[in-house]
Amino acid sequence: MTDLTIPSTPTRFEPPADLAASANVTAEAYARAESDADGFWAEQAERLTWAEPFTQVLDWSDAPRARWFVDGKLNAAYNCVDRHVEAGRGDKVAFHFVGEPGDTRDITYAELKDDVSRAANALTSLGVGSGDLVAIYLPMIPEAIVAMLACARIGATHTVVFGGFSAEALASRIEDCRAKLVITSDGGYRRGAPSPLKPAVDAALSRLGGQSPVDHVLVVRRTGEYVPFDDATDLWWHDVVGSASPEHTPEAFDAEHPLYVMYSSGTTGKPKGILHTTGGYLTGAAYTHHAVFDLKPDTDVYWCTADIGWVTGHSYIVYGPLANGVTQVLYEGTPDSPHRGRWWEIIERYGVTLFYTAPTAIRTFMKWGREIPDTYDLSSLRLLGSVGEPINPEAYLWYRSVIGGDRCPVVDTWWQTETGQMMISPLPGVTAGKPGSAMRPLPGIGADVVDEEGRSVPNGSRGYLVLTKPWPAMLRTLWQDDERFVETYWTRFADLGYYFAGDGAKKDEDGDIWILGRVDDVMNVSGHRLSTSEIESALVSHPRVAEAAVVGAADETTGQAVVAYVILRSGDGNNGEALTQELRSHVAKEIGAIAKPRQITIVPELPKTRSGKIMRRLLRDVAEGRDVGDTTTLSDPSVMALIANRDTESAGA
Ligand code: WT7
């Protein structure tokens, strides 16, 4: 079980002296941002190239709806690509791409500019323009990044759907945002074999039928496997983009122009379309990437292992790093294909200096054993980052020592899809690292741990994590659901104007912040956000299921795992293993393989309060093997004994 107990005297690692001496950001930044927030963020916005200057840093008069860098105009793709070429760095490698089968491709900034320009011309020729939505459903291949930047270049808003999501999940997102174009591929490589993607797009569109907003599907050839092709809608990327001109003049868009919508699970069955805009988002992503990784763009080689289907890939593969003009590694596959040393081999080969990954991956490597990384030369590394879930001290210490050779600082970065940028993290040249703590809000960021009434808790206490001031990359609203935006994040502490993050946290005796995990019905499985009610809806959509309750139970590798309790329809006999397997596959089909329950227990009843609310706390106790605590508020206290019984049966099965 992941141990999140906070040690009474945490270990501390001071910043390495040489890093501190040449750090991009020093302690002075906190005070500077504190005394003049507008001045501080205006300075950070100057990292970007503006076509028209902004006249005001922040307009918060319609809070919680923010406008950052008012009247400013810029082009995100120009900032990520063209300006580096114009500055004479066109020959610099933007991406060392490594495909899973072992194919590699180095793409320079000049080549990236040509590719993005061709794709921008191609999208325009397909009738896509400013204000249109484009869904991107691709593996981790360079075309995914080209597609995102091509949208940004012409003012189209992209929504990237993680390639592991099912046809159903893709359909609901296409429908919700009314995407006009889908960009996909025949497939990608997964664990040594081609894995198809295009058929899921076909299934999604046929599910939408006459309601489908999609005019065209643009298909990248990656695997070369056969895919059904509809000549009326489908187009090959290599035909349309390949034949387009590499000359394209970017147009400047308003700082508040919608850059992308990223769907993320909330506490209801319907995912939220989180909207990020252009100027503030790019400023927040670029500044934090520079500050937290202490980025030295001339010498660093940076690798973030996230998928572009998640916000980490958006902010810390595409927008932040490219705005900063760094050289990166882009890897298509899984860490164990073709062998368990693949990541370390890549670090050795490209001399990666900055490495950003998730605790779940670190725990997997710990299980595989240090002998594997120990056979590679990892001495190029100088800094390690962690994101997505709390990093337990044991994993932190292993990461720091086995991967980082006890010389690299570890930055544990807390943020969310909604925040768009890192919010709480050590600064590697300033802050001592404490294994398990994300430490302090970054310069310019306001974060606190508060009680039910919004009062700041004293050091040594727990409470709710809140953000106390607006920040440039903050979400602007939820796509077509502004009411839910206000309700979800800004109502809980409305009087104080705080953003409610949905996480529990603790301030230790020094006032440093330890994130304890979600306080709502959102789970975090392998650093990916899943909603209990979304999985419950998937389960009850199966004809044999009457009712379902889902909880996130602590898991040694994935942080949390999905555990489901299901009541069958009356008269429906339980045929054991076959049925639970069928239900697991059903969830994978409805949402995606990541949502598949680790365990499903068929139960006669669920624990409910007298008002009918499912008591997930009790189910979590059972799932994590604890004695069930207080059951006095249950309408029928005897149900817990029945459930605990079934659970031991199914765990032993
Ligand atoms: C939730 C946000 C940030 C991009 C990837 C996940 C958890 C994230 C940390 C961390 C403890 C963390 C929180 C947060 N989380 N980073 N360093 N320490 N918890 O984005 O899907 O929007 O999930 O992930 O619970 O609320 P997301």
* Each residue's pLDDT tens digit, 275-334: 999 999 999 999 999 999 999 999 999 999 999 999 999 999 999 999 999 999 999 999
Task: Among 414, 419, 466, 518, name the best residue to mutate to test ligand 1's pocket (greatest count of ligand atoms within 8 A of Cβ).
Answer: 414
Confidence of residue 569 (pLDDT cuts 50, 70, 90): confident
Asked if 327 and 92 count as a contact pair (C-beta separation under 8 A), the reply is yes
What average pLDDT is seen over the chain? 94
85-113 pLDDT, tens digit per residue, is 999 999 999 999 999 999 999 999 999 99
Average pLDDT in the 556-581 region?
A: 86
Residue 405 in domain: no
Find out whether the peptide bond into 470 is cis, omega within 30 degrees of 0. Answer: no
37-89 pLDDT, tens digit per residue, is 999 999 999 999 999 999 999 999 999 999 999 999 999 999 999 999 999 99
Residue 611 Cα to ligand 1 midpoint, Å, equals 32
What's the pLDDT at 8?
65
- What is the model's pTM? 0.92
479-518 pLDDT, tens digit per residue, is 999 999 999 999 999 999 999 999 999 999 999 999 998 8
SS3 411: strand
What's the pLDDT at 412?
98
Annotated binding site for ATP: 388-390, 412-417, 503, 518, 529
Task: Among 274, 275, 318, 389, name the best residue to mutate to test ligand 1's pocket (greatest count of ligand atoms within 8 A of Cβ).
Answer: 389
Segment of 349-353, 393-397, 642-646 carrying the highest mean pLDDT: 349-353
What's the pLDDT at 652?
42
Ligand 1 first shell, C-beta below 6 A: 264, 311-312, 387-390, 412-417, 438, 501-503, 515, 517-518, 524, 527, 529
What's the pLDDT at 576?
79
3, pLDDT greater than 60: no
Annotated binding site for CoA: 190-193, 312, 526
Task: Among 310, 415, 445, 478, name the best residue to mutate to test ligand 1's pocket (greatest count of ligand atoms within 8 A of Cβ).
Answer: 415
Higher-scoring residue by pLDDT: 271, 183:
183
What's the pLDDT at 4?
55
Asked if 440 and 426 count as a contact pair (C-beta separation under 8 A), the reply is yes
Distance CA 260, CA 256 (A): 11
Distance CA 575, CA 636 (A): 26
Asked if 467 and 509 count as a contact pair (C-beta separation under 8 A), the reply is no
Asked if 123 and 153 count as a contact pair (C-beta separation under 8 A), the reply is no
Residue 167 in domain: no
Cα 425–Cα 427–Cα 433 angle in degrees, nearest 5: 75
Residue 564 in domain: yes
Distance CA 513, CA 321 (A): 27
Distance CA 523, CA 267 (A): 10
Q: What percent of the chain has pLDDT over 90?
A: 83
Tally DSSP H helices, then E strands, for the chain: 22, 30
Residue 534 Cα to ligand 1 midpoint, Å, equals 19
Count the helix, strand and coil residues of the chain and give each as a percent rounded to the nearest 5. Answer: 35, 25, 40
Confidence of residue 653 (pLDDT cuts 50, 70, 90): very low
> Residue 648 is part of which domain span?
522-652
648, pLDDT greater than 70: no
Average pLDDT in the 27-35 region?
A: 97
Residue 304 in domain: no
Going by C-alpha positions, the residue among 554, 644, 651 that lies closest to residue 605 is 644
Residue 552 in domain: yes
612, pLDDT greater than 80: no
Residue 213 in domain: no
Number of domains in the chain: 1
Residue 541 in domain: yes
Pair of tokens at residue 448: 């606190």
> What are the backbone dihedrals phi and psi of residue 260, each rounded to the nearest 5 degrees, phi first?
-160, 160
Confidence of residue 1 (pLDDT cuts 50, 70, 90): very low
Residue 605 in domain: yes
Q: What is the 3-state secondary structure (H, E, C) of 89-106?
A: HCCCEEEEEECCCCCEEE
Higher-scoring residue by pLDDT: 629, 309:
309
Confidence of residue 28 (pLDDT cuts 50, 70, 90): very high
Residue 358 Cα to ligand 1 midpoint, Å, equals 10
What's the pLDDT at 649?
63
522, pLDDT greater than 90: no
Upper half-sphere CA count for residue 255 (Cβ side, 13 Å): 28
SS3 602: strand
Closest C-alpha residue for ligand 1 atom 23: 416
The residues near 17 (Cβ < 8 Å, ≥ 6 apart) are: none
> What are the backbone dihedrals phi and psi of residue 116, each rounded to the nearest 5 degrees, phi first?
-65, -40
Closest C-alpha residue for ligand 1 atom 2: 416
> What are the backbone dihedrals phi and psi of residue 517, each rounded to the nearest 5 degrees, phi first?
110, 175
State the CATH number of the domain containing residue 542: 3.30.300.30
Residue 479 Cα to ligand 1 midpoint, Å, equals 21
